[in-house]
Amino acid sequence: MGLLGGFKVTIGNMLNLRGGETVTTEYPKEKRPKAERLHGRHVLNRYEDGMEKCIGCELCAGVCPAKCIYVRGQDNDPADPVSPGERFGFVYEINYLRCIHCDLCVEACPTEAITESKLFEFSFTNRDDAIYTKAELVVDDDGMPRRLPWEDWSDFDTVVPHTSAWVRATASSGSAEHVGEVGWSAELGFGVRAPEAGQAAEDAVDDGGVHEHATHETHDDAHAGHQVDEDDGDGDNEGHH
C-alpha cells in the first residue's frame, strides 16, 4: 500500500469519509464492555458474616505457574477467629510483575476465597506498589474491592458485580444433572450468586449423553470391583493387575 496509502486510510477513518460506524473508541472517556469472565485484578472474598474465606491452605500459591503468590497460614484465635476454619491467611501477597492472570489460583481455591475482578487498568510507579498485600486484596465491609490510587475504577459499577464470574461456571467434566444448581457459598455484599446463563450447551443435558456418561462410570466401577474380587479371592494375587 505504501506510506501515503497508509495515511489515506488513517485520515479517511478520522473524517469518516468511508461512511458507516466509527471503529475508534475514545478511550479512556469511552470504554468497551468487558467480557463476563475477564481475568483482572484479584480480590479476597468474605462470607456474609464478615469472616474471611481464605483458610491459608496455600493451594493457590502451589498451583501458580508464575510463582507470584505468597501465603502464610496461621491458627485462628478461638476467641476472635478470622475465618470459620482452624486457620486463616495471615500473610497473602500477589506480585503483579509476575502474574499472568491464568486464573489457576481461582480454580484451585477450595473455599472460593480468591477470585478475579474485571479490573485490568492499573499501573505502578514503583515495584513495591506492584506487590499487593492482604490489606489491599481483602474486600471491604460492603464486599467491594478496595480502590487503590493507581487503579482506574471509572467504570466501577460495571466491574464490581462480576468479581466472581469465573468461579460460577459449571465444569465441562461435571455431571449434567448438576447444571444450573448453586454449589457455592454466599458472599459479603452479594449473597448467593445466581448461576450464569448458558453454563452448558443444550446437548450437554441430552438424555443420551447422560446415560453414556453413567455407563462409563458403571463400567469403571465394575472394573474396579472385579480387581478387588480377584485380589481378595487369592492372597497370592496381591499387587497383580
- What CATH number should be reported for the domain holding residue 79? 3.30.70.3270
Enumerate residue ranges in the chain where pLDDT < 70.
1, 16-23, 166-180, 195-241
Based on the domain organization, do 68 and 127 belong to the same domain? yes
Separation CA 117–CA 184 (nearest Å): 17
Based on the domain organization, do 156 and 229 belong to the same domain? no
Based on the domain organization, do 215 and 195 belong to the same domain? no
Q: Look at the chain and report how many structural domains it folds into.
A: 2
Taking the alpha carbons of 166, 170, 173, 174 in that order, is the dihedral positive or negative?
positive
Structural domain span for residue 220: 206-237
Specify the pLDDT at position 198: 55
Based on the domain organization, do 157 and 230 belong to the same domain? no
Q: Is residue 73 part of a domain?
A: yes
Separation CA 124–CA 131 (nearest Å): 10
Q: Is residue 8 part of a domain?
A: no
For 2, the grid coordinates are 505504501
Specify the pLDDT at position 211: 35
Q: Is residue 15 part of a domain?
A: no
Specify the pLDDT at position 83: 94
Please state the φ and ψ torsions of residue 164, each to the nearest 5 degrees: -120, 25
Strand partners, 132: 94
Strand partners, 88: 74
128 CB-side CA count, 13 A? 0
Specify the pLDDT at position 180: 66
Based on the domain organization, do 129 and 220 belong to the same domain? no
Based on the domain organization, do 175 and 222 belong to the same domain? no
Specify the pLDDT at position 219: 38
Based on the domain organization, do 229 and 166 belong to the same domain? no
Q: Is residue 133 part of a domain?
A: yes
Based on the domain organization, do 53 and 129 belong to the same domain? yes
Write the single-letter amino acid at 197.
Answer: A
